[in-house]
Amino acid sequence: MWRRGTRGPSAYIPVSQITGPYVGDNIAAVMGLHPDYLHVFWKTQHQLLRMDGALSLPERHYVAIMASARHQCTYLVSLHSSCFLQVGGDPRWLEGFDAAPLKLRKLNDLNKILAHRPWLINKEHIEILLSSQGGHSWSLAELIHALLLLTHFHALSSFILGCGIYLSEDNNAVPRPPSPDIPLNEGCSKLQEAERVLAEIKKLDEEGEETSQEEMETRFEREKRECAMVPTNGDNSKAVCFPGILHFLEDPGFGYIDFTRRGEQAPPTFRAHDYTWEDHGYSLLQRLNPEVGQLLDDKFQVAFNLTYHTCATHSGVDTSKLRRAIWNYIQCIYGIRYDDYDYGEVNQLLERSLKVYMKTVTCHPERVTRLLYNDFWRQFKHSEKVHLNFLLLEARLQAALLYCLRAITRFMT
């Protein structure tokens, strides 16, 4: 158990709020606030990193390093550099990306696009990797394994940085002070946040009016434009990249840009009903990597359906509309539209400071700060903010998978 006064696993969550036994594994300590999710997360990551697969163990950890470096996640870069050596990886690869085999370096374009602008992925990216000459080509099984690792560690980087998770002290972390016990509503001017959310949920439940398809499309387009107007933390600041991260990056200046940008032609909207996770992405993975496909589906469902029927201090609450608004807002940021969803609900349920936090965690997680974490949902429990981060992780992961699996489907047909 974590002792009061010691440094907890997170810079943002007071150590008194961490109740699990996972001392020494800071990710598990934070995820352990929700044991059902932690269980399926662990199973999925174990399958990707340890069980039978197309990539060797050193290659898997090196791909994890490549993915984590895109978001400057020192926790994961450090952890998987150690794991890479433990499973027999060549130490020279850790000298920098240029020292890695050409076959791995060829993943760079896919890595940076998946991390920052997944809507740009097309079948040509897949074709180039599968048809490279000189013994540097990827098999389809290898590429699927690499894509699953890249998307997993991009999204996990968001979770770690969004929750302020420290690298465990036994991994040569820089010493930091204990996580403070700060009352959730200290200095708060938003004491009615939970009541406002509950009132909006009730209003939506009572309205029950039919909305035309034309109006639903109008509301999505409006929300898509408004997504671009929501800033992320530190929008005008230049990111500083740590030297230990920089040598694993090619094109470090390549980052997220808004799907819809003022004065520019937006890429085509990804209509989720034309290529759904359930009917297309999941079924493709069931053919190509059935073990991971099933675990991912389980993980998506656990994260989305997780509820204790509470909202801050209120109990007996149906939070399904709030969870759906969070999930669909993140995928809207990536240009994905659900035809049967009324995007007007997003603005009713998600206030601006929450949107800023969500967009920063998803698109620029290296910019998250304690102030940003404390600035939304001040009445809510830390465990509820961790659940929010599960939804961000999984919605982002599914969005990236939908784009790359659609590209693979188009390559195969």
What value, to the nearest 5°, has the Cα angle with vertex 74 and ends 2 and 183?
A: 40
Give kind and range of the element (H or E) at residue 21: none
Buried residues in 100-127 as b, exposed as e (16+ CB within 10 A)? beebbeebbbbbbbbbbbbbebeeebbe
Q: Quick one: which of 394, 145, 143, 154 has its CA closest to 292?
A: 145
Q: Give the C-alpha distances (Å, rounded to integers) separating 299 from 20, 42, 67, 245, 365.
A: 20, 10, 20, 29, 21
**Do 121 and 267 touch, CB atoms closer than 8 A?**
no
**Do 113 and 67 touch, CB atoms closer than 8 A?**
no
Choose the catalytic residue: 73, 83, 227, 404: 73
Q: What three-state secondary structure class fits 386?
A: helix
Report residue 127 CA to chain centroid gap.
26
Q: Quick one: which of 64, 104, 157, 111 has its CA closest to 404?
A: 111
Cα gap 351→197, rounded to integer Å: 9
Cα gap 175→402, rounded to integer Å: 40
Cα gap 272→321, rounded to integer Å: 18
Copy the structure tokens of residue 322.
């709030």
Copy the structure tokens of residue 79.
């952890």
**Do 27 and 160 touch, CB atoms closer than 8 A?**
yes
Cα gap 413→411, rounded to integer Å: 6
Copy the structure tokens of residue 330.
């993140």
**Do 326 and 358 touch, CB atoms closer than 8 A?**
yes
**Do 27 and 171 touch, CB atoms closer than 8 A?**
no
Q: Is 83 a catalytic residue?
A: no
**HSE-up of residue 50 (Cα within 13 Å, Cβ side):** 8
> Which residues are tagged catalytic?
73
